[in-house]
Amino acid sequence: MFKPAITGTGVFTPDQIITNAELVEAFNAYVDLYNAQNAEAIAAGDLAAKEHSSEEFIFKASGIEQRYVIDKSGILNPEVMHPLLRQRSDDEPSLMAEMALDAATKALAQAGKTAADVDAVICAASNLERAYPAVAIEIQDLLGIEGFAFDMNVACSSATFGIQAAADMVRSGSIRSALVVNPEICSAHLEWRDRDCHFIFGDVATATLIEREEAATGPYFEIKSTRCATDFSNNIRNNNGFLRRSRPDGVKDRRDMQFMQNGRKVFKEVLPLVAEHIAGHMAEEGVNANDLKRLWLHQANKSMNDFIGRKVLGRSPEPGEQPNILQEYANTSSAGSIIAFSKHSSDMKDGDTGLICSFGAGYSVGSVVVQRHG
């Protein structure tokens, strides 16, 4: 048996930013257009008028100040309200693979490794660009990695579930190392016309290199243990899929073809699930609250993270103990906790213990206990 370790991480950040002010201006213009086009039905009581959004509402509800996106032009166009992405030929790298390649190259560089040192690629994301061939195999090919690759989807928990799969394979000796990549084009499955959620997501890609501890050439994080759990719920859902055209009204512009959630139920049901999951994992590993130097949580909502932090630590987290990147990146699905880990882990000291946790649709929750070495 080998000890698995995280030896490198990388983050690809798009170069386009949408501030809350820009988002609100575009959304409110869309609302005015919608209400004007449907004035008669609204006046007759057959249709509800849409309400304006505001910067204050967005920040209070989420803690988000801006988000990075692949394309802002379509999102900010009141007559479009979704990203406009260039049609690529089948001979070109896919957008997800291109994003993942950037993040993976950075992770390899941080670890001081090359493609020759990697045996597997796992592309773990909440929405994949196509059904097949696997995006992971395309990424593997672009990197020049021998071995194997596969896609997986556990929504916002995909990264931690991918890390568990990679760590288990490294631990067993079936592979030397694996890249877990999380290209998240969340702007494409967000409903930008819905006031309750139009501010939630941003785009990004992350990568994590997991290899045998003995192969580390610099500071690294030993993966002490992993834990995953799922509990079925419809409260976060997207009904889009390859069967869509085969069903009545399948190709129409239906609300359930994009991200949907019952926010109040999610808040009420997910928080205790996550807090209990982390507490159980820490107990199994013999880690108490005073031992935990850092919590890298899924970046969905600041209030949710503050609640979880208080439950896990038994007090309000000190500045830096539970880093948030939400205000800058917004919710980036599975990539959020990895961004937080990548940007807020280098200051930890030898022997310090931390915990990475992601959670979301499924419901699903995954946690990884790590210890700094070097």
Catalytic residue ranges: 156
Tell me how far apart the alpha carbons of residues 224 and 10 are, in angstroms, rounded to a whole number: 21
214: amino acid identity, one letter:
E
Question: Strands 236-237, 203-212: parallel, antiparallel or unpaired by DSSP?
Answer: unpaired
Cis peptide before 363 (omega within 30 of 0): yes
In three-state secondary structure terms, 258 is: coil
- The C-alpha atoms of residue 91 and residue 150 are separated, in whole angstroms, by 20
The Cα-based distances of 215 to 6, 19, 84, 221 in angstroms read 11, 42, 43, 12
HEC assignment per residue over 127-195: CCCCCCCCHHHHHHHHHCCCCEEEEECECECHHHHHHHHHHHHHHHCCCCEEEEEEEEEHHHCCCCCCC
Q: Are 349 and 356 contacting, i.e. CB atoms less than 8 angstroms apart?
A: no
Task: Identify the bridge partners of residue 273 per DSSP, sorted by sequence position.
Answer: none
d(CA 42, CA 32): 13
Q: Which residues pair with 121 in a beta bridge?
A: 149, 179
DSSP secondary structure letter of residue 200? S
